[in-house]
Structure formats: structure tokens, C-alpha cells
Amino acid sequence: MTPLVSRLSRLWVIMRKPRAAAGSGHRKQAASQEGRQKHAKSSSQAKPSAPNACAGMISECPGAPAGLARQLEEVVLQASVSPYHLFRDIAEVTAFQGSLLSWYDQEKRDLPWRRQAEDEVDPDRRAYAVWVSEVMLQQTQVATVINYYTRWMQKWPTLQDLASASLEEVNQLWAGLGYYSRGRRLQEGARKVVEELGGHMPRTAETLQQLLPGVGRYTAGAIASIAFGQATGVVDGNVARVLCRVRAIGADPSSNLVSQQLWSLAQQLVDPARPGDFNQAAMELGATVCTPQRPLCSQCPVQSLCRARQRVERERPLASQSLLGSPDVEECAPSTGQCQLCLPPLEPWDQTLGVVNFPRKASRKPPREESSATCVLEQLRARGGARILLVQRPNSGLLAGLWEFPSVTWEPSEQLQRKALLQELQRWAGPLPATHLRHLGEVVHVFSHIKLTYQVYGLALEGQTPVTTVPPGARWLTREEFHTAAVSTAMKKVFRVYEGQQPGTCKGSKRPQVSSPSSRKKPSMGQQVLDDFFRPHISADAPSLNNAAQ
């Protein structure tokens, strides 16, 4: 019996033992069952062998511990993958770790969450600081996150502080950061830690993912490795790009097979002595050197181990002859069929792209397009202090719990649109003059999966009896209060159109920008002299073009 088959057999025996599984474990198993079956099928097609016969064991053990199930998946996966996409031995892994960590010690950016994690002695506060940063950094650039993170930690320095905050406060501070459910889930998790876990964060990636709402595999691994020193690998977009290039993985990184391979590589590479630093180093490398479009290969600390870089060197006409037969320049040579980790047959190597051939972009569905009409209803008062009507969105779905201008679904005709929007406004503010409703332009805002076009209307109430009461879910705010309220970036765009009082004052508008004579910049003295010199002479008693037209 080979060592690989022996290891599979031992894992299978352990997993077959009766075990009372937690409910969440069953849900995870059910959610991943289809993907595992697909993986087992693809593995058997890629390389028929004895280990692949054991792939069915995974689906036979719904009560297996998550850690053992993952180990079994990794063993089966490695049995079906060409060695070209793996690290050959421990020496290669050690070289990768040492080079990457040495580079990180010298080149890492000074970021507030890193300082917080390094200086904090209390493990729960340290884990909380890492947790906040990792949630904010999802789908958001570092430069944007820094100010938000600093304000957040000043306002809620501990889990207990965040747990006692209101959702309104969380949404207000999060406004403009996008993906608003992240802030809500973060607060839900803080409350669970304080109320159900005695104020102590779970200490392992497995328990973090199991117990905390909104914490997935990546976030759990980041917290566990950085805050608690657990030797667990992580894969985010930056790490995936690094690994795909280092091991020349050109298949769709979002596919189940490639995703499993990347996680397996990350776990193989993580330095057990400095897991947190290693994971941050891998992310840092992808963010600053191994970038999506213009990677700085000459500055890469692991370029000697990079299969993509080796492929570039081999493809160079002048270097190809000298590199023939070199043991350091390898190709994937699967025994049968097309390797499922290589570049797709229909998208072969493009010499003009170089290392950017890896990874190929995953196919993404275009965002669905939706339209709505929204109105800025402003109540003008004689002594100033105008107020704007805002209504709160539902507690679930897109932009849950945030405040917005009254809006309705787009109607096919202008008449129907005005009627529907006026009815919505009257539902919140009572009788209103329909003649004052003006169309101002449009705003296009793209969310993660929706391209939403807002037709922007404005209605100013002047000289009318002020609205003193509003139903629950609505409120009147001053302009100053609006800019600090929990409103989305899309609503701030809408308000800029209203403030301009002219169509086209927003980037998303398709109408031309119009400026009034009073708003135009006065030319300099020198410019006035030039204008007067080249302006055609017109007699003082000649009729103007406007008068002539009349």
C-alpha cells in the first residue's frame, strides 16, 4: 500500500466513526456537497488512480469533523494535480517562506491596524482590531479604509463598545464605505461575543468561522493567524494572484477545483513560526508588487520560484535556446488529457501579457440594470434652516437600514412616473403641489451586482404650512445633518444634482452641464484685454441678437 493510500485509509476510518455533529456543521456540509461531488468527478477524470477511488469517502461522511474532511479533500486534490503546480519539497517551501518574510520585514507598509495588532497585549482586543480591518478591507482599497478604520477604533475601541452601539450609529460611520451589510454583521458578531461568549473571541479559524456571523474562511484565517498565531493559510484576491503566478495556474480561480488548490497551497506555505506575518506578507506582495496589470517582477522576492516568470523567460526568442533542458524551466505534462489548472485551450499563452497571463479573469455576469425615480423634498422656511425629507430602507436587502430620499420603481411614461412619485411623497409628507415637481437629471450608480439609474426630481416647499409630523420611518434633516447621516454614496450623488439646480451637474447624468451667467468664473484682466481686442465692433445702437430674434 502506498503512503498516500495509507493516509487516505486512516482518515477515512476516523471520519467513519459516529459523531454528534453541530447543526452548523450539517449546514456547511450540505452547502458544499455539490462542489465536492463535482471535484471528485473531475479528479477521477483528470488522473485515474487508487487515491481517486477514495474521493467518494468525502460524501459518505456528513458528520465528519471539518478539519479531517478538509485534510481528505487536500490529499485527493494533490493526487489529481500535476507536480508542476505544486511545490516540490520542503526546501522549496522554506526558501519561499524565508524570501517573502525577509522582504516583508523591510518593505511592509505602516498601516494603523498592523500597529494596533503589534502593540495590543490583550488577545481579545487584538483580535477585534484585526477583525475590523479585515472586514473593512473586503472589496475596498487600503487608502479608503485608513480613515474609516481610525474613526471606528476611536469611537469603539473594544468589542464591548461596539456591542453597545446602535445600528444607526454603525451605519452612520460606515456611510460611503460600501457593502453596508459588512458593518451590520460586524456589530452582530460583537454582540454575540459579548452576550454569548463571555467577551472572549474564539481562538481558532474553525471556531471563528463557525460561531461568528459574517466571518468566512478568509476572515477567520486572518484573525486566527495574526491575532492568535495559528498556522493557517489564507486566500484573498491578492494571495490568489500571487499563487496563480508562482505555480502557473491559469484556470478560472473562482472554480471549485482551483479554489481548493489555492487554499491547499496557502496552507502548505504558511510559516508556522510567523503565520500572521507570512499571511500579511503574501497579501502585501500581491497588493504592491504582484499587481493585476503592471507587476514589478524585478522587485519580487520570490521571482526565482515563480513558474510564470520562468515561462516568460522561456518564451523569449533569444533565451529559448540557452534554457532548453534547464531543470529550473519546467512545463506541465499531465499523463492524460488537458490539465485542469493550466491555461484553457481556447485562451493559450499570450506573449504580450507575460506573467499577467496568470490568473485569467473569472467570467463575471454583468450587473443587472434597474431604474427608479427619487425626489429631494425640501421644506424652505423664512428664517432659513431648510429641511430635507429622508425615509429609511427596510432592514434587509440592498442598503438595509440606510436612509434615502423617497423613491419609486421606474414607470414607462413621464406622466405615470410623476404620479407614482407624488403619491410616495404624499405618503410621508401629506398633500403637496404637483406643479412644483421638477425633473433635474439622472444619476447612475453601480453596486456589486446592480447598475441602478436614478431619475432625480426636486420639489421645494416655499411659503406653505410646514410639515410638523411624519410617520415612523421618516425624518426631516438639515443639509448639514444630511451630510453626516447614514446615507449611501448614491444618495449623496443625487443630492449634488439637486444642489446644482441644473441638469447634468453629476457625473452620472447624460445631460449637458449648464451654468448660469452669475456662476461663470470672471475672466482675468489680461483675458479681458484679449477678448476686447478680438471682439468684433458693434455699434451701440445696433439691436442685440436676442432683440432681433424677438
**Residue 370 main-chain phi, psi, to 5 deg:** -135, 155
Cell of 316: 523569449
Tracing cell 448660469 back to the chain, one arrives at: 516
Give yes or no: 481 in active site. Answer: no
Please list the residues that pair with 404 across neighbouring strands: 391
The whole-angstrom separation of Cα 364 and Cα 342 is 20
Catalytic entry in 73, 134, 284, 404: 134
User: What residues contact residue 206 under an 8 Å CB cut-off, 6+ apart?
Assistant: 66, 67, 220
Q: Residue 173 and residue 487: Cα distance in Å, rounded?
A: 10
Distance CA 116, CA 257 (A): 36
Instruction: Indicate the residue type of 177.
Output: L
- Cβ neighbourhood burial of 54 (10 Å; 0-12, 13-18, 19+): buried
The CA distance from 213 to 202, in Å, is 12
Rounded to the nearest 5 percent, the helix, strand and coil shares of the chain are 50, 10, 40
Judged by phi (left if over 0) then psi (alpha if -120 to 50, else beta), residue 463 lies in left
List of residues 6+ apart from 487 with CB closer than 8 A: 175, 390, 402, 403, 404
Exposed, middle or buried by CB within 10 Å (0-12, 13-18, 19+), for 120? middle
User: Burial, 342: exposed, middle or buried (Cβ in 10 Å; 0-12, 13-18, 19+)?
Assistant: buried
Handedness of CA 338, 241, 281, 233 (dihedral sign): negative
The one-letter amino acid code at 264 reads: S
What is the bridge-based pairing of β-strands 450-461 and 368-379?
parallel
CA 299 vs CA 108, 110, 465: distances in Å: 13, 19, 68
d(CA 342, CA 84): 10
Contact between 342 and 248 (Cβ < 8 Å): yes
Q: Give the three-class secondary structure for 300.
A: coil
Closest CA to 67 of 178, 203, 181, 206: 206
Integer Cα distance of 376 and 189 in angstroms? 35
Amino acid at 49: S
Residues designated catalytic: 134
